[in-house]
């Protein structure tokens, strides 16, 4: 674990509440109004630094980065595939170029004009071509809450839950970037008082507060990624809202698990915060000694992350959103290294740009529940909004906004936000 460098300053002014100081430098893919070709950028303050422009000038070349042309790709996949030495090298070059005492970029007005765009003036795209998406179920508090609702307190956790990071394969094609509207899905449901299922729009729409990580270098089919090596295969993290249709899920999930209830949309934030930026915020996770986990899942060091998370909800009638939940990634029972090690222990091959979701992140307190299913306790309680409205599940027109950040010694490392509006069924 490293300390955060509080002495670093950028020549770009950074507001105290910004998620994107020079200590962060997350990667994303964007498009300007004057170009139909996507480009790779880094967020600094309220600006996007176009890495394609820097590469064209030869400022991102050398060593593991070669000629720097990898930054002129339309996605981050090729850069992700290079691995940690290349990621560290790029971060070092970008940090130097953006420092307040470095003249190369600071004093070249023409280069600055070409390389910087306001974030408000660009369209953010998915950061990678996502080949596969896996969603885990790794919060003990969340799994316990759902288990109590469905099976009672004595059988809340299934027998396997404390032994393996439970997960399922999601649908990569329906992963969407923040700001994409989500139509209410249709499917089969079975009301409690009905003899047969019915077909129609979901009536119990929910959000799930999650985080996700992107795979960097993968592994060959038949090989596994040892947990000690897992950090070298994890490029960075994003916020995830894994939308859920609870009534469709209740009918379909036996015996194979979620299908239509989950694969209609998963929203992610546009900026990928690197593990190097998150390194100062590593911390101990929950104890895993009762039962003790198998050796292949034992982390050699602290692999949880202290990332504060918030969920806000804004209805059609509201002028501003209400905060309805907070949580923290450090509550996760199974950490990201364990998730990757378990996913590949059977020889499954992960590939650059694959996305792994954490599963809903809930904490021990009521306000830390990461879904409407928990906040309303399966619809038996109401979530009160400031304008007098109340919710048990999401209504058409509701906008869900999730944000996340870490803070240490006055330096804030943030993820921005992931937002989406629920539209009526088509």
Query: Could you give the residue numbers annotated as active site?
Result: 142
Report CA Rg, the chain.
22
Contact by Cβ (8 Å): 175, 243: no
CA 399 to chain centre: 18
Distances 250 to 191, 247, 262 between C-alpha atoms, Å: 10, 5, 12
Residue 240 tokens read as 């995830």
Residues in contact with 200: Cβ distance below 8 Å, sequence separation at least 6, in sequence order:
186, 189, 425
Residue 384 tokens read as 């009160």
Measured CA to CA, the distance from residue 224 to residue 230 in angstroms comes to 10
Give me the phi and psi of 268, to 5 degrees please: -130, 155
- Give bridge partners of residue 313 from the DSSP assignment: 322, 400
Distances 12 to 44, 54, 106, 277, 383 between C-alpha atoms, Å: 8, 16, 9, 18, 41
Which of 192, 188, 196, 323 minimizes the C-alpha distance to 245? 188
Which of 332, 323, 373 minimizes the C-alpha distance to 211? 332
Measured CA to CA, the distance from residue 342 to residue 224 in angstroms comes to 9
Residues in contact with 391: Cβ distance below 8 Å, sequence separation at least 6, in sequence order:
313, 372, 376, 382, 383, 385, 398
Helices (H), 167-318: 246-252, 275-278
Q: Is the dihedral of CA 316, 318, 319, 323 positive or negative?
A: negative
Tell me the CB-side half-sphere exposure of residue 88, using CA atoms within 13 A: 7
* Stretch (H or E) spanning 408: strand 399-408
């Amino acid at each position: 674990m490293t300390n955060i460098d509080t002495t670093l300053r950028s020549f770009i002014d950074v507001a105290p509440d910004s998620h994107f100081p020079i200590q962060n430098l997350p990667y994303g893919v964007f498009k300007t109004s004057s170009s139909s070709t996507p480009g790779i950028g880094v967020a600094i303050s309220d600006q996007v630094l176009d890495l394609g422009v820097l590469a064209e000038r030869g400022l991102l070349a050398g060593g593991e980065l070669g000629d720097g042309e990898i930054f002129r790709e339309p996605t981050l996949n090729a850069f992700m595939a290079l691995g940690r030495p290349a990621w560290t090298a790029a971060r070092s070059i970008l940090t130097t170029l953006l420092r307040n005492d470095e003249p190369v970029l600071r004093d070249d007005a023409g280069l600055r004009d070409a390389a910087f765009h306001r974030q408000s003036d660009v369209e953010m795209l998915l950061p990678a071509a996502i080949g596969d998406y896996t969603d885990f179920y790794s919060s003990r508090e969340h799994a316990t809450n759902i288990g109590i609702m469905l099976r009672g307190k004595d059988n809340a956790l299934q027998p396997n839950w404390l032994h393996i990071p439970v997960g399922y394969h999601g649908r990569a094609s329906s992963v969407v970037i923040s700001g994409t509207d989500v139509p209410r899905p249709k499917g089969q449901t079975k009301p409690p008082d009905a003899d047969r299922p019915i077909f129609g729009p979901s009536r119990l729409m929910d959000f799930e507060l999650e985080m996700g990580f992107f795979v960097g270098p993968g592994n060959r089919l038949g090989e596994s990624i040892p947990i000690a090596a897992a950090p070298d295969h994890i490029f960075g993290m994003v916020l995830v809202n894994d939308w859920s249709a609870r009534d469709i899920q209740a009918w379909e999930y036996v015996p194979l698990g979620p299908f239509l209830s989950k694969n209609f949309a998963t929203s992610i934030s546009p900026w990928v915060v690197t593990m190097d930026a998150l390194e100062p915020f590593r911390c101990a996770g929950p104890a895993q000694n009762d039962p003790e986990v198998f050796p292949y899942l034992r982390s050699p060091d602290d692999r949880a992350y202290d990332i504060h998370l918030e969920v806000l909800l804004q209805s059609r009638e509201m002028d501003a959103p209400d905060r309805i939940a907070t949580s923290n990634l450090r509550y996760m029972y199974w950490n990201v290294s364990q998730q990757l090690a378990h996913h590949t222990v059977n020889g499954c091959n992960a590939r650059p740009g694959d996305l792994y979701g954490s599963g809903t992140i809930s904490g021990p307190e009521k306000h830390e529940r990461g879904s409407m299913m928990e906040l309303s306790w399966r619809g038996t309680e109401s979530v009160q909004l400031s304008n007098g409205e109340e919710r048990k599940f999401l209504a058409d027109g509701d906008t869900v906004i999730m944000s996340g950040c870490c803070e240490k010694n006055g330096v804030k490392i943030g993820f921005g936000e992931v937002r989406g509006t629920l539209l009526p069924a088509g």
